[in-house]
Amino acid sequence: MAAIQINNVEKSYRTLKALNGVSLSIEEGEFFGLLGPNGAGKTTLISIIAGLNRADSGNVTIQGHDVVSDYRKARQLLGVVPQELVFDPFFTVRETLRMQSGYYGLKNNDAWIDEVMHNLDLTNKADANMRALSGGMKRRVLVAQALVHKPPVIVLDEPTAGVDVELRQTLWKFISRLNREGHTVVLTTHYLEEAQALCNRVAMLKGGQVVALDTTSTLIKRISGSQLVVKLATGSLPDELKELVSHPEELAFGNKYTLRVNDYNDVEPILAKLRQAGVTIEDMQLQQADLEDVFIQIMEGEK
């Protein structure tokens, strides 16, 4: 039985088709990445999974429980960390987490609350009022709220957007531990290095449709070859090499370019053309393709 089963889900807002026949099966114990540009439909899909929005057609189940017809059980099985910082300004961190426990009918949950606060470095803020916390601390409390009832399925919607490195490291250490203990984790993020490091499988959405779905390693292998990153000390990139630039915005800014190459044999002809153009190289390195390269290639190819 899948942790989350999404069957042909469609959702429209007037003339906007936010989701157009999305189907996904996320297995129990997976660390799954849901990626896509802004407006791809990720947050709409998460809202439907969480029961905050209803699909026009199709259905979603959490461990076999329909999010509409069996919503009580489905929501008990799910913990969602939203993008927005939503909090009650009149309570302390501990009071907030105790109230959240009460929503799920949990009594005497202080031991787990203490453990969650400890793992998210919130212990010294336990008695602080929510409105007195920094943005990063408020986001930690949102994560704690999602985990307070020990849900087997955890959905994280841009959990590290705009937060410091310390929180990112703290959060991923704790979430990775929960995943090793059997919790299913679904992550949406614009930090593709996070997705590559954490997610064993990834789905990419664009225009409300799934345009790629595979293991992270297999998706990366879809891009053949490597990348030659060159930083020029003098001169500019010759026109005949501009078609090799992986990131077109590099042509407008600075003197550092990422060039697509198939293997080491492609490097020497590139260097020869740079020498011929009178260009001086300040730095150069050969890199393997990563998930960001795959993402750009797929998004540009799915127009």
pLDDT digits (tens, 9 = 90+) for 201-245: 999 999 999 999 999 988 887 776 678 899 998 888 888 998 888
Cβ(78)–Cβ(183) below 8 Å: no
Burial of 2 (0-12, 13-18, 19+ CB in 10 A): middle
The amino acid that residue 194 corresponds to is E
- The edge-to-edge listing of strands for the beta sheet with 153-157 is 78-81, 153-157, 184-188, 31-35, 201-206, 209-215
The amino acid that residue 297 corresponds to is Q
pLDDT digits (tens, 9 = 90+) for 243-301: 888 778 888 777 888 888 877 788 999 999 999 999 899 999 988 778 988 898 888 87
Tokens 């997976």 belong to 30
CA distance 69 to 52: 14
Nearest to 298 by CA among 161, 192, 152, 227: 192
Tell me the domains of the chain and their CATH numbers.
Answer: 4-220 (3.40.50.300), 222-301 (3.30.70)
Tokens 């929503």 belong to 103
Q: Angle 153-113-103 (CA atoms, 0-180°, nearest 5)? A: 65
Cβ(212)–Cβ(47) below 8 Å: no
pLDDT digits (tens, 9 = 90+) for 91-115: 999 999 999 999 898 888 999 999 9
The model's pTM is 0.81
Adjacent-strand bridge partners of 280: 234
The amino acid that residue 107 corresponds to is K
For the chain, give the percent of residues with pLDDT over 90.
61
Ranges of beta strands (E only) in 63-114 are 65-66, 78-81
Give the SS3 label for residue 277. Answer: coil
Question: Would you say residue 172 has pLDDT above 60?
Answer: yes
Nearest to 189 by CA among 294, 290, 81: 81
Ranges of beta strands (E only) in 36-139 are 57-62, 65-66, 78-81
User: What pLDDT is recorded for position 86?
Assistant: 78
User: What pLDDT is recorded for position 303?
Assistant: 43
Residues ≥6 apart with Cβ < 8 Å to 227: 246, 258, 259, 260, 261, 286, 287, 288, 289, 293
Nearest to 245 by CA among 237, 257, 254: 257
Please state, as a whole number, how many other Cβ atoms lie within 10 Å of the Cβ of residue 271.
15
